[in-house]
């Protein structure tokens, strides 16, 4: 009987602990970032606000050649990266892994990318967009 009570108490504590672990917005994104490994003649930027809304854009020859709106949204207690401006409709990528300095989000139905990874490494923001056959690495530094 005592063992049963201890087991129930342990399960309650573990369950309560798991319920208190809330998903956190990735604060490491906040700031204005400039791509270091761009194609010659292009400059790519990502700017993330404290409300986790961002703008990604590329400038070439003084003109904006690419632009997308980014945001971290919570749907049913799960974080998603929402991308607007690339496809006709917003595209959602569900967070599948997250740490204090990184996250992976995925959308297997999207043609490209199917997987997006963001991480901070040596004061640089790295973003990797990929599918099964192709990958693009973005390396950003924070602008002052």
69-101: per-residue pLDDT in tens? Answer: 999 999 999 999 999 998 889 999 999 999 999
What percent of the chain is predicted at pLDDT more than 70? 85
- Average pLDDT rounded to a whole number, residues 116-137: 97
CATH class of the domain defined by 23-142: mainly beta
What percent of the chain is predicted at pLDDT more than 90? 81
Q: Where are the domains of the chain?
A: 23-142
Query: Residue 78 has what pLDDT?
Result: 97
pTM of the model: 0.83
Task: Please give the torsion angle defined by the CA atoms of residues 60, 64, 66 and 69, in that order, rounded to the nearest 10 degrees.
Answer: 140
What residues pair up with 137 in beta bridges, in sequence order?
128
Element (H, E) at 124: strand 124-130
Please give the Cα distance from 93 to 115 (Å, whole number).
Answer: 8
Give the number of other Cβ atoms within 10 Å of residue 104's Cβ.
Answer: 18
- Average pLDDT rounded to a whole number, residues 102-126: 97
CA angle (138 as vertex; 131, 124 as ends), nearest 5 = 130
């Amino acid at each position: 009987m005592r063992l049963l009570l201890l087991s129930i108490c342990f399960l309650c504590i573990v369950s309560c602990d798991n319920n208190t672990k809330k998903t956190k917005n990735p604060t490491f994104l906040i700031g204005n970032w400039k791509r270091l490994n761009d194609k010659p003649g292009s400059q790519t930027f990502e700017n993330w606000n404290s409300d986790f809304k961002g703008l990604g854009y590329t400038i070439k020859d003084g003109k904006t050649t690419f632009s997308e709106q980014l945001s971290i949204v919570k749907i049913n207690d799960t974080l998603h990266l929402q991308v607007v401006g690339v496809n006709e409709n917003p595209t959602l990528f569900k967070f599948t892994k997250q740490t204090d300095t990184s996250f992976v989000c995925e959308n297997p139905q999207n043609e490209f990318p199917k997987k997006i990874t963001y991480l901070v490494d040596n004061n640089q923001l790295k973003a990797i967009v990929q599918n099964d056959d192709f990958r693009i690495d973005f390396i950003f530094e924070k602008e002052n």
